[in-house]
Structure 1
Amino acid sequence: MRSGLILYAISELLSKEIKHIKGSPLSLKVFVGVALAAVIRKVLVTSLSPEKVQELINLSFVILSLGIVFG
């Protein structure tokens, strides 16, 4: 599953970079979306360890912030 998320992130970034080279304006929303997917993946991995509650709280604030920027 992790490799699928990495491939998704790379394909999104490459497609947007190709559009930017062709003259389209660079969209920050793609980079925020990739960051959001990476942080969600981090939460899924971190949630397996019950002693990392503070890190999960911090990551939830990061997700909230990225979600506000993305929306």
Structure 2
Amino acid sequence: MRAPDFSQAHWRKSSRSGGTGGACVEVALVVNATGVRDSKLGDASPILPFAPGAWSAFLTAVKTGELDG
């Protein structure tokens, strides 16, 4: 499997992140992958890629409260 190319990705930060520079992540969608990175590091941040099915399952778990501690 070829690594996803995030070089031209448009990164988005959650509207709930606020402007205080706290612990935030950014998300970008590219062909066949969603990437997550640390917003404080920007382009220097490592990117954690998710396959479409894995990203969808993660979002469903968040929305249904499955990951609430």
Q: Report the TM range for the smaller structure's normalisation.
A: under 0.3
Larger RCO, structures 1/2 (Cα 8 Å, 6+ apart): 1
- Which protein has the bigger strand share? 2
Query: Which protein has the larger Cα radius of gyration, Structure 1 or Structure 2?
Result: 1
Greater helix share, 1 or 2? Answer: 1
